[in-house]
Structure 1
Amino acid sequence: MRKIISFMHISLDGFVAGPNGEMDWIKVDEEIFDYVGKRIGETNTALYGRVTYQMMEGYWPTAGDEPTASKHDIEHSKWYKEAFKIVLSKTMEEADLTNTKVISENLSDRINEIKQSDAEDEILLFGSPTATHSLIQQNLIDGYWLFVNPVVLGQGIPLFTDIKDKIKLRLLPITRQFNCGVTELNYLVDRG
């Protein structure tokens, strides 16, 4: 069965964005871009909430075509255009979207159908705090790929909110500290 892995930058105190959605505190550099690009390249399925999808769709399809595009922009733009995208939204229509499926109802059933498909790659959930909260509450996230940034925000949008039941996690031995001070942590949900 395929796994949904939440890929998120997080502050040391557990926030994924500032109070107004600010993400200017996130540290990324070429070292992180190269590292993340390798893992993203192992999957061809991306999961987004509507807001994050619209932000990505407004940039990535043409980012690699710009004359000043970085190596990362070229590579990720190519990946983005080829990836199958799943969007959780109650307001978007699926018509006219290329290589994209919109899930607007029966979230648990629809996600479980996708997880049980023949494909074997991970489904990476990019950011998308509202979608992440919905998936956590329905026990649909199988792992967390977290990039802990060396900052305490004090307030903002938390990664974990309105948790009803304890979620046991198993830390995988894949961790890395980057030169910019960001630390990568990988957890799988322990369902045993």
Structure 2
Amino acid sequence: MAKLIYVTNVSLDGYIEDESGAFDWLPRDDEVFAFTTNLLRSVGTFLYGRRLYEMMAVWETDAALAAQSGLTADFASAWQAADKIVYSTTLTEVSTAATSLERRFDPAAVRQLKATAGRDITIGGANLAAQAMRAGLVDECQLFVWPVAVGGGKPGLPTGVRTDFALLDERRFPTGVVHLRYRLLGHQGVL
């Protein structure tokens, strides 16, 4: 059975975006970028909410982005190799290959995907990941914690649900970024 892994960047105070919706507080870090690319190579399917999908689609739709460096070319290749499922009620079509569009998040369909997938699955977007966590579908949570506090915004983990985690691995980067890999032990209910 494939694992469903929530992967995200968070500020030290736990946010993926600041109060204005920006995440430009993430500085460029080539070592973290290469590490993320290797993580993506192990994944067969990406599950995205609309906003994150539209941000990531440029890795296929903008050839100049991949042409910037060997690192960006590797990332684009890894991103394009995976299947993508986008959950959106507003998109009418997708702009990338190997991508399907779903109108709503269906936990039963994701359970079936996990049972039949040959490679792991990642889920991105805090709102989508929160739905999957509440449904008990997320197996791992991988956080890239950046050494900045943004003071508020969109939380990286769902609020209103108690979830216990077991630390599986950690990696420190010279810039102060820490990658934390947790197994979810289960949520203890809505608070």
TM superposition score normalised by structure 2: 0.87
- Unaligned regions of 5+ residues in structure 1, if any? none
**What's the secondary structure of 2:31's corresponding residue?**
helix
Moved more, 129-138 or 18-27: 129-138
- Unaligned regions of 5+ residues in structure 2, if any? none
**What's the secondary structure of 2:158's corresponding residue?**
coil
Change in Cα spacing, 1:113 to 1:183, as seen in structure 2 (3 Å) is same
Instruction: Give the Cα–Cα distance (whole angstroms) in 1 for the partners of residues 76 and 10 of structure 2.
Output: 24
Q: Choose the corresponding residue for 2:145, options 148, 154, 161.
A: 148
Structure 2 match to 1:19: 19
**What's the secondary structure of 1:101's corresponding residue?**
strand
Structure 1 match to 2:123: 125
Change in Cα spacing, 1:103 to 1:110, as seen in structure 2 (3 Å) is farther
What stretches of structure 1 move > 6 A for 4+ residues in a row?
Answer: none
Instruction: Give the Cα–Cα distance (whole angstroms) in 2 for the partners of residues 67 and 96 of structure 1.
Output: 17
How many residue pairs get aligned? The number is 187
**What's the secondary structure of 2:16's corresponding residue?**
strand
Could you report, residue by residue, the CA deviation over 1:86-134 in whole angstroms, capped at 9, with x for unpaired residues? Answer: 1121223467763112222351111111111141x211223x1221222
Instruction: Give the Cα–Cα distance (whole angstroms) in 1 for the partners of residues 68 and 126 of structure 2.
Output: 28
Instruction: Give the Cα–Cα distance (whole angstroms) in 2 for the partners of residues 69 and 116 of structure 1.
Output: 38
CA RMSD of aligned residues (A): 2.3
Q: Tell me, yes or no, if structure 1 residue 5 matches structure 2 residue 5.
A: yes
Instruction: Give the Cα–Cα distance (whole angstroms) in 1 for the partners of residues 24 and 62 of structure 2.
Output: 20
Q: Tell me, yes or no, if structure 1 residue 92 matches structure 2 residue 91.
A: yes
**What's the secondary structure of 2:163's corresponding residue?**
coil
Structure 2 match to 1:170: 166
